[in-house]
Amino acid sequence: MPPRTSSPMPSSKPTPVTMDAVYTAPGYLFRRMQQIAVALFIEECKAFDLTPVQYAALVTISTHPGIDATRLSAVIAFDRSTLGNVIERLQAKEYIVRKPAPEDKRVKLLYLTKAGASVLNDIMPSVDKAQARMMQPLKPADRKTLLSLLTQLVDLNNEASRVPLRAEDALEHLGRSG
């Protein structure tokens, strides 16, 4: 972060504030891009009535049938409480079912229904289109650079988020790789 003024002298006066304090902040730019990403996803996928979060949950349940809610939250770095509502909605749409785990009465295991597998299969091209659209304005080389830096940054900052990604830990017992 560059200093907010070019004044070389310490001063007791309030620092003059400009909109740069917002517009050039990485946090603001990430918020904008997330906003844009969600808007494009919803637009491309409106025929399917699935949100980005619901899509990520469906993908994960598809690749890890029988996963429980807590592990699912760790695998996609969602908040556990938030995920409860997401699961309810997917269940209401009959895209997933919950079965009690026989060996642990606390746990409910998650499985795709036929309708869930079908919608997941059908929505894929639209998801890809949305993902492509948000990167489209950049030159291909710049897209690669951005994606690479973003992947690094998310990985290196993993512990900073309240809900760190714990893919490996969470999936140990399932004997599957994501």
Partner DNA sequence: AATTGATTGACAGTATACTTACAATATGGC
Partner DNA sequence: GCCATATTGTAAGTATACTGTCAATCAATT
Q: Does 160 bind a second copy (CB under 8 A)?
A: yes
Question: Among 63, 76, 53, 61, which Cα is nearest to 112's?
Answer: 61
Residue 92: alpha-carbon gap to chain centroid: 22
- Burial of 50-79, coded b for 16+ CB within 10 Å and e otherwise, reads bebbbbbbbbbbeebeebbbebbbbbbbbe
- For the bound state, the minimum distance from the C-beta of residue 13 to a second copy, rounded and expressed in Å, comes to 9
DSSP element (H, E) containing 109: strand 108-112
DSSP letter string, 60-96: HHHHSTTEEHHHHHHHHT--HHHHHHHHHHHHHTTSE
Report helix angle 26-44 to 52-63, nearest 10: 80
Of residues 39 and 115, the one with the C-beta less far from DNA = 39
Could you give the CA distance from residue 61 to residue 75 in angstroms, rounded to a whole number?
A: 10
Query: Among 68, 77, 89, 108, which residue sits at the site for a second copy (rule: CB under 8 A)?
Result: 77
**115 binds, options a second copy, DNA, none, Cβ within 5 to 8 A by partner type:** none
Region of 2-10, 14-22, 101-109, 135-143 interacting with DNA (CB under 7 A): 101-109
Q: Does 142 bind a second copy (CB under 8 A)?
A: yes
Is 143 in a helix, a strand, or coil?
Answer: helix
Q: Does 101 bind a second copy (CB under 8 A)?
A: no
Query: Among 108, 117, 166, 174, which residue sits at the site for a second copy (rule: CB under 8 A)?
Result: 117
Which residues of the chain form contacts with a second copy (CB under 8 A)?
1, 4, 14-15, 17-19, 21-41, 52, 56, 59-60, 62-63, 75-77, 117, 120-121, 124, 127-128, 130-135, 137-138, 142, 145-147, 149-154, 156-157, 160-163, 165, 167, 178
Binding-site ranges for DNA (CB under 7 A): 31, 35, 38-39, 51-54, 68-71, 78-82, 84-87, 89, 103-108, 161-163
